[in-house]
Amino acid sequence: MKRVSARLLQAIEASAIRGTEDHWKLVPPDLAKRLKTGTAHVGDAFMTMLSGSEALRMNRVIGLGHRGQANEQVIDEIVRRYHDARMKRFSLLLGPGPQMKQVARWLEARRFARKPGLMLLVRDARIPVPHEKAGLRIHRSSAVDRETIVRIHATCFATPPIRRSWNLVAAAARHHEHYLAFDGPKAIGVGTIRVDGDLAWLGGGAVLTRYRRRGAHRALILARLRRAAQLGCRWVWVETAEPVKGRPDGSRRNLVRLGFQEVGVKPLYVWERDEVGSVSARARLR
């Protein structure tokens, strides 16, 4: 693992919170009412809630402890909020920071279960970006491509159709740029970049299954790295699945080959509401 400054890690977590908050502000009002969405800042963490879904990605807490503001009371408040919303489960993505080990102990004491999380990788944007031979066509998307972006994401990530209107709004958000990979006339992949000060985040990378292993994922990374350098960014960061034996790991390998360095694992902790857990949680929260 590469050691990076605590200041950079804190800046990345803060940027992740801002990006997530911006995304949830885009939920169309009628959809927000149907899905019973909610967000809140608790301590230095940010929590999101989709009461009509049990998806851990949508019911998640990020950033806890990144500014050293975590304590057991904050964790109990988070549990209380999801519990009062009658959520069956939620997740907490614990980023590297000054309280990481301490927070992990507090979570485990509250019956949170450790699950595979995400690997955080960082790249110095000043490192020259390799030039690729002509192959797949890559271009920055425009308004006419929004349907295509949403379609590829829905296919690759199995996004529920009910969230389509939200995804269309997100595809048009001014703080995101999207790049598309084409095989002939067909769009086969997409990748997103979000610039926040001197940081650039890469996300939303997806390639249709039948078109994988043709270099589209690599080409989309390179296009966004060039854009980050063009915009004067100092660092580029990305999160990808934590390596697990038997699970595909191509995304992480491509990132490392293109100069990204692993700086830490962000473990995922899951709280599930059951008869015993609910009773013990209520006892602690009195």
**What is the DSSP secondary-structure string of 237-272?**
EEEEEPP-TTS--HHHHHHHHTT-EEEEEEEEEEEE
Shared fold status for 6-120+266-285 and 126-233 = yes
| pTM (predicted TM-score) | 0.92
Residue keyed to tokens 């004491």: 109
- Model pLDDT, residue 279: 38
What's CA 285's distance to the chain center, in Å? 30
Q: Quick one: pLDDT at residue 41?
A: 98
| Cα–Cα distance list, 122 to 203, 220, 235, 244 (Å) | 13, 17, 7, 20
CATH fold group of domain 126-233: Aminopeptidase (3.40.630)
Classified by CATH at the fold level, domain 6-120+266-285 comes out as Aminopeptidase (3.40.630)
**Contact between 115 and 147 (Cβ < 8 Å):** no
Dist. CA 52–CA 141, nearest whole Å: 32
What mean pLDDT is predicted for residues 237-255? Answer: 89
Is the model's pLDDT at 164 over the cut of 70? yes
pLDDT in tens, 60-107: 999 999 999 999 999 999 999 999 999 999 999 999 888 999 999 999
State pLDDT tens for residues 3-41.
889 999 999 999 999 999 999 999 999 999 999 999 999
pLDDT band at 2 (very low <50, low <70, confident <90, very high): confident
The per-residue pLDDT for 286 is 36
127, pLDDT greater than 60: yes
Domains of the chain, residue spans: 6-120+266-285, 126-233
66-75, 181-190, 267-276: which has the minimum mean pLDDT? 267-276
